[in-house]
Structure 1
Amino acid sequence: MFSRYAFIKKVSVAIALGAVAVYAGSSATARAEYPDRPIEMTVLFGGSALATAQVLAEGMSQRLPQPVAAVSRTGGGGAVGYSYVHSMPADGYNIVWNSNSISTTYHKGNMPFDYKAFDPVAQVSVEVPALAVNASSGWNSLADLIKAAKAKGGKLKVGISGKGSFTHLTSEALFSKAGVKVIYVPYGKGSAQAELLGGRIDAAVQWPSQFISLAQAGKLKILAVTSAKRIDALPDVPTAKEQGIDIDIKMWRGIAVPKGTPKRVIGRLEEVIQHVVNSKAFRAAGKKLGFKPAYLPANIFGKVIASDDTKIAALMEELHMKKQ
Structure 2
Amino acid sequence: MQKGIIASVALSAAMAVGLCAPARAEFPEKPVEMTILFGSTAQTIGQLLAELMSRHLPQPVVPVARTGAGGAVGYQHVHGTAPDGYNIVWNSNSISTVHHGGGLPFDYTAFAPVAKISVEVPAIAVRADSGWETLSDMAADIKSAGRKLKVGASGRGSFTHLATEAILAALDLSDSAIHVPYDQGRAPVELLAGRLDAALQWPGQFVSHHEAGTLRILCVTSAARISQLPDVPTCAESGAGEMDIVMWRGLAAPAGTPPEAIARLEEAARLAAESEEFRKAAQTIGFEVEFAGHEAFGELIARDDTIIADLMGQLGLTEQ
Structure 1-normalised TM-score? 0.89
Q: State the secondary structure of the residue aligned to 1:186.
A: coil
Report what 1:229 is aligned to: 224
Q: State the secondary structure of the residue aligned to 2:250.
A: strand
1:212 to 192, 207, 217: 207
Asked if the contact 1:154/1:183 (under 8 Å) is kept, the reply is no
2:130 to 134, 137, 141: 137
1:308 to 301, 304, 313: 304
Instruction: Provide the rounded CA distance (Å) in 1 between the counterparts of 2:217 and 2:139.
Output: 14
1:127 partnered with 2:123: no
1:258 to 249, 254, 258: 254
2:189 to 190, 194, 203: 194
Offset at residue 293 of structure 1 (A): 0.6
1:273 to 262, 269, 275: 269
Report what 1:146 is aligned to: 139
Offset at residue 264 of structure 1 (A): 0.7
Amino acid in structure 2 at the alignment position of 1:188: D
Report what 1:320 is aligned to: 316
Report what 1:7 is aligned to: none
Deviations 1:287-310 (A, max 9, x none): 111111111000110000000001
Deviations 1:99-156 (A, max 9, x none): 1111011000011010000000000011111001122323222122212332464621
Matches within 5 A, 1:1-324: 21=18, 25-26=21-22, 28-30=23-25, 33-151=26-144, 153=146, 155-181=148-174, 182-189=177-184, 191-245=186-240, 246-324=242-320
Gaps of 5+ in 2: 1-9
Amino acid in structure 2 at the alignment position of 1:274: R
Instruction: Provide the rounded CA distance (Å) in 2 between the counterparts of 1:316 and 1:106.
Output: 11
Instruction: Provide the rounded CA distance (Å) in 2 between the counterparts of 1:62 and 1:197.
Output: 42
Instruction: Provide the rounded CA distance (Å) in 2 between the counterparts of 1:100 and 1:229.
Output: 19
Instruction: Provide the rounded CA distance (Å) in 2 between the counterparts of 1:275 and 1:109.
Output: 36
Instruction: Provide the rounded CA distance (Å) in 2 between the counterparts of 1:261 and 1:291.
Output: 29
Instruction: Provide the rounded CA distance (Å) in 1 between the counterparts of 2:201 and 2:31.
Output: 32
Offset at residue 183 of structure 1 (A): 1.5
Instruction: Provide the rounded CA distance (Å) in 2 between the counterparts of 1:154 and 1:240.
Output: 22
Report what 2:3 is aligned to: none
Offset at residue 190 of structure 1 (A): 5.4
Report what 1:8 is aligned to: none
Q: State the secondary structure of the residue aligned to 1:29.
A: coil
Offset at residue 244 of structure 1 (A): 2.7
Deviations 1:135-187 (A, max 9, x none): 23232221222123324646212111111100000000111011013122232
Q: Runs in 1 of length 4+ with deviation above 4 angstroms?
A: 16-23, 151-154
Deviations 1:9-46 (A, max 9, x none): xxxx99x98997578x43x523xx22222222111111
Instruction: Provide the rounded CA distance (Å) in 1 between the counterparts of 2:60 and 2:278.
Output: 17
Gaps of 5+ in 1: 1-12
Q: State the secondary structure of the residue aligned to 1:231.
A: coil
Instruction: Provide the rounded CA distance (Å) in 1 between the counterparts of 2:18 and 2:63.
Output: 39
Q: State the secondary structure of the residue aligned to 1:95.
A: strand
